[in-house]
Amino acid sequence: MPSIPDITLNNGQAIPQFGFGVFQIPPDETAAAVSTALDAGYRHVDTAQMYRNEAGVGEAIAKSGLDRGEVFVTSKLGNDAHEPDDARAAFDATLKALGMDYVDLFLIHWPLPGRYGGDFISTWRTLEEFYREGRARSIGVSNFQPHHLRRLHGETDIIPAVNQIEVHPYLTQDEVRAFCTEHQIAVEAWSPLGRGGVLADPVVMSVAKRAGKTPAQVVLRWHVQRGDIVFPKSVTPDRIRENIDIFDFELSAADVEDLSALNRDERTGPDPDKF
């Protein structure tokens, strides 16, 4: 089994730096994919209310024979449930679907500047309740820009443990990542492979050839060496195993720089200031 490093969050909780993402995995295929990942050594799963597959995640973990404490589970609040009472009901439903009495990490999925009168502060205060109750061991945000994080900093009690943002070689997010580092917020890189879009890049392919690894492996290794938390998605068993096999080699500083230099500020997903 690969030995996956932990990152210590700003509240002292440990999170495995590498995990399994389940966005776009159909509900009826999720338990099988998560079981394959757990068998391969993954101990961290990233789901969301909007993915509608939390039940499959819970089912695979329950069947795995692992103790609950051995797997780090993240979910995220649905965009329709930001009003505090809705958020409470949605969070109860998350725990029920997972079949768990806590999640390791719960996130606001999107800041949604055009909805709820731009108010994500009362939503965050509701997540603070879940944290104080011990039903979310850590709380954080996703797709927050520095100006959103500054508002939380000024108006609420708890600093987010993580900010989950889109990051890959075509979108290196240097500004948001530097802001997060300065404020002890760990960065989680979503779509770490650019949904597969960066893998045919000639620079990625030449780094892979030099390292004797696949394009996906060197891109995932690049994230890990930059210090971000990653959870690539795949439903293909061979790829699930390939993606975790990145803890037996290191990229040179020059390779890391070459991959970072591919940045072209190109998103695969929505712009958080507009969505």
Active-site residue (options: 51, 102, 131, 170): 51
What number of chain residues touch ligand NAD (CB under 6 A)?
A: 25
- Does position 23 interact with ligand NAD (CB under 6 A)? The reply is yes
Query: CB of residue 77 vs ligand NAD: minimum separation in angstroms?
Result: 11
Report, in angstroms and rounded to the nearest whole number, the Rg of the chain calculated over CA atoms: 18
- Does position 231 interact with ligand NAD (CB under 6 A)? The reply is yes
- Does position 164 interact with ligand NAD (CB under 6 A)? The reply is yes
Burial tier of 171 (Cβ tally within 10 Å: 0-12, 13-18, 19+):
buried
Tokens of 157: 């009690």
Query: CB of residue 181 vs ligand NAD: minimum separation in angstroms?
Result: 19
β-bridge mates for residue 188, sequence order: 164, 229
Among 192, 207, 218, 255, binds ligand NAD (CB under 6 A): 192
Tokens of 91: 């969070």
- Residue 112: count other Cβ atoms within 10 Å of its Cβ: 18
Residue closer to ligand NAD by CB (options 133, 260) is 260
- Asked whether the beta carbons of 109 and 75 are under 8 A apart, the reply is no
Q: Cα(172)–Cα(143) distance, rounded to whole angstroms?
A: 14
Query: CB of residue 57 vs ligand NAD: minimum separation in angstroms?
Result: 10
- Residue 28: count other Cβ atoms within 10 Å of its Cβ: 10
- Asked whether the beta carbons of 9 and 38 are under 8 A apart, the reply is no
Looking only at residues 81 through 140 of this chain, which bind ligand NAD when binding is defined by CB under 6 A? Answer: 109
Residue closer to ligand NAD by CB (options 188, 255) is 188
Query: CB of residue 119 vs ligand NAD: minimum separation in angstroms?
Result: 20
Q: Is-catalytic flag, 170?
A: no
Give how far the C-alpha of residue 73 lies from the chain's centroid of Cα atoms, to the nearest Å. Answer: 10
Residue closer to ligand NAD by CB (options 114, 132) is 114
Residue closer to ligand NAD by CB (options 58, 192) is 192
- Does position 199 interact with ligand NAD (CB under 6 A)? The reply is yes
Among 94, 126, 142, 172, binds ligand NAD (CB under 6 A): 142
Binding piece for ligand NAD, criterion CB under 6 A, among 83-91, 132-140, 237-245, 257-265? 237-245
Tokens of 136: 């979310």
User: What single string gives the DSSP state of each residue in 62-101?
Assistant: HHH---GGGSEEEEEE-GGG-SHHHHHHHHHHHHHHHT-S
β-bridge mates for residue 142, sequence order: 164
Task: Output DSSP code: residue 171.
Answer: B
Among 193, 208, 224, 244, binds ligand NAD (CB under 6 A): 193
**Residues taking part in catalysis:** 51
Residues binding ligand NAD (CB under 6 A): 21-23, 46, 109, 142-143, 164, 190-196, 199, 216, 231-234, 239, 242-243, 269
